[in-house]
A and B are shown apart, each in its own frame.
Chain A
Amino acid sequence: MAAAGGSGAAAAGRAYSFKVVLLGEGCVGKTSLVLRYCENKFNDKHITTLQASFLTKKLNIGGKRVNLAIWDTAGQERFHALGPIYYRDSNGAILVYDITDEDSFQKVKNWVKELRKMLGNEICLCIVGNKIDLEKERHVSIQEAESYAESVGAKHYHTSAKQNKGIEELFLDLCKRMIETAQVDERAKGNGSSQPGTARRGVQIIDDEPQAQTSGGGCCSSG
């Protein structure tokens, strides 16, 4: 079970594996962002990747090996309700909005509320204002976005997938924070009572009411 989460990173030498979900409205550039990061390509005709919805990246941060699995999600409003299925058991979430689109920022706020409610503080949140190459058409003010991010305990980044700005930094920071969280988690586990036989983060069984299931056991299932 342990390999399922960041808690899967055990004693030194073993790799951490993190699951990161990309959330945000459609057309804010989630896919471009991750493609830029993993392939360093943007709008390229010669992209060899078959798909950009599930990408992995191996990192080495301060001697710690990290396997990053980035899960893209469908951004259309109609799929909003499916969110919990995607983000359960994830270590980090990247919430992307388009700086030229006020609505997409509102959407991010909704996501933050939902994530905090469902997963509590064990998920690292990053709020990302994408498309800073379109600074002229900015509709979301920097102060507003940054102060909001601070108020919910998230970090704010400005990126441009087109110009490759801020993306490396975003992922690197996120990884560091996830490692920290995982280490804290581990220490707590070492001190506290370990529960053999039960997984803190269990696989949810999709029953008739997946929503209720996830909310019930998504973060604190103990049996």
Chain B
Amino acid sequence: PVFPSYHHFVVCSLVSRKKMSPKSKRGGIHMDLCKKGCGYYGNRAWQGFCSKYWREEYHKTRPKEMQEDWELAERLQREEEEAFASSQSSQGAQSLTFSKFEEKKTNEKTRKVTTVKKFFSASSRVGSKKGISRDKCPPVPYNDSTVLKRTELVSRELLEFFFFFLEDQGKPVHAELREFLVGTHHMRPAGVTERDSISKKVFHTMHLTFQPNQRAKHEKIEKTLNYVTVFILVMIVKKLRCTTVKEGKQLKCTVVEKSRISQAGTPRLEAIPTPSICPCVSDSHLVLVPWLSFVDIIEMDSKHVPRDKLACITKCSKHIFNAIKITKNEPASADDFLPTLIYIVLKGNPPRLQSNIQYITRFCNPSRLMTGEDGYYFTNLCCAVAFIEKLDAQSLNLSQEDFDRYMSGQTSPRKQEAESWSPDACLGVKQMYKNLDLLSQLNERQERIMNEAKKLEDLIDWTDGITREVQDIVEKYPLEIKPPNQPLGALDSENIENDKLPPPLQPQVYAG
């Protein structure tokens, strides 16, 4: 009765993986436009939507996803158990346990269809080989009576594993983990913060344990810590996923908010002129950077273990550095790097970035976050996010009006850009911007023509009005054609005054 449901779980999660996994990596980078045709890039991990539409879509399907996540967590946990069980049943089989662990890690790292298959076959192989062990710990749903029993079992296996792996160091580690296990089971309704502090405590104790031990090699400790991280996550991932989702809701990720606000109209944060963010970086390399880094930073969301998420960030940063180096011909400094990273985050708009950062901060091994390269890049990402959150006119060296205009999308930065071309910009880009410029000019003219045409329409109205008025007047004062005047008489006939004239002088004759 147990097995069908188990297989059901596996198949379910298999399907969900298939649907979600961004597997375009190896076969060349492939970025399509959003399915909805909004003009922004879609992502396969988001089923071909851009971030905005994916969010809409996601809200519809979220309950289902949560269910799937839960199933995945359940499955991972079961695998973990099997791994430990197998180590128990064969005493010298610690290498097997190891490979199992390794396998799981690579699975999580690559997350491809093939590996999903491997995942599947691996678990079935273990299932057939170690049928007994599975019978011993059947995957029962959580309830308090079984929890303790299972905790016992798991911790016994764990002890053995650590015993082999760390020799004499196994015991304290085991004790700590056991406490942790019991703790997590008993505080099921606890919030993510408590969980966070528990995992921190585990790490802390582990460091104390390892510190005075000089025999244990550094790598070994690292490895153990990695396993422990995976283990802790597996134990709490189920609830964690739900809580992070819930918390994410309350969190009001500012990044998301901001982009949503700006998406409300057509414009986005992207409208902000690139040079004002990273003036030192020429455009030609900005064309190079995005694709690789976008893929990485977006891929981050699909990873489960913090370490893998960190690896994604590092990979993304490396691409950026590469691009900067190519353009500037010198090693990239933080002055160039941070602006570019901000640019990438803005343009890429990675899914659930805030939530992911929180997740890493809470559950990653703190020493990894604080030291080392990964830590540096992670810090930079935090900085980038913090910068975007606080983005205002001042931080972009823009006047408030300009900033408002960009944010509201009234102005596009491109037109100004076209004027000030750096000579090393690549030809295609130049052409593109030139064309864009032409297009925008055409657009302007079109609009002008439309306006004129509208004015002409007004003119029609006007003439109509005039005609109407004329008609009204004509009706009011109908045209009376008077009979033509009497033909004028002789010129003199009217000359009435002629009569008044004195009579013409007559010649008088004087007899003299």
Give the interface of A toward B (CB within 8 A).
1-5, 8, 10-11, 13-14, 17, 19, 26, 30-31, 35, 43, 45, 47, 49-54, 69, 71-76, 78-79, 81-82, 85-86, 89, 196-199, 201-206, 208, 210, 223
Contact = CB atoms under 8 A, between A and B. Distances in A.
**Max chain B Cβ within 10 angstroms of own Cβ: one of A19, A45, A206:** A206
Given A1-B204, A2-B208, A4-B370, A210 B334 contact: no
A205 to B, nearest CB: 5
A54 B332 contact: no
Contact of A210 (B251, B322, B325, B382): B382
B390 interface: yes
B306 to A, nearest CB: 11
B387 interface: yes
**Max chain B Cβ within 10 angstroms of own Cβ: one of A19, A30, A78, A210:** A78
A15 B369 CA distance: 18
Contacts of A11: 211-212, 214
Contacts of B204: 1-2, 196-199
B333 A1 contact: no
A17 B371 contact: yes
Q: Please report whether the interface of chain A is mostly helix, strand, loop or mixed according to DSSP.
A: loop
B232 interface: no
A205 B382 CA distance: 10
Given A50-B318, A82-B383, 11 more contacts: A3-B367, A4-B367, A10-B212, A11-B214, A13-B214, A52-B333, A53-B333, A71-B376, A85-B379, A196-B204, A223-B197
11 contacts: A1-B200, A19-B371, A31-B333, A50-B331, A51-B332, A53-B332, A54-B373, A71-B334, A78-B387, A86-B383, A206-B361
A53 B387 contact: no
Contact count band on B: 35 or more
B372 A74 contact: no
A199 B200 contact: yes
A196 B207 CA distance: 11
A81 B391 CA distance: 11
Contacts of B369: 4, 203
B358 to A, nearest CB: 7
**Max chain A Cβ within 10 angstroms of own Cβ: one of B321, B325, B361, B379:** B379
Contact of B333 (A5, A8, A72, A89): A72
Contacts of A199: 200, 204, 366
Interface stretch (B69-77, B129-137, B335-343): B335-343
A10 B357 CA distance: 30
Contacts of A73: 334
Nearest to A2: B207
Interface string B392-436: 001111000000000000000000000000000000000000000
B252 interface: yes
B429 to A, nearest CB: 24
Interface in B274-320: 318
A50 B333 CA distance: 10
Contacts of A26: 335
Contacts of A69: 371-372, 376
B379 A5 contact: no
Contacts of A78: 387, 394-397
B351 to A, nearest CB: 18
A74 B339 contact: yes
B386 interface: yes
Contacts of B362: 205
B322 A85 contact: no
Contacts of B390: 81
Contacts of B377: 54
The 3 closest A-B pairs by CB, nearest first: A31-B333, A4-B370, A3-B367
Contacts of B370: 4-5, 19, 89, 201, 203
Nearest to A67: B371
B203 interface: yes
Contact of B367 (A1, A47, A76): A1
Nearest to A43: B330
Nearest to A11: B212
Contacts of A72: 333-334
B258 to A, nearest CB: 13
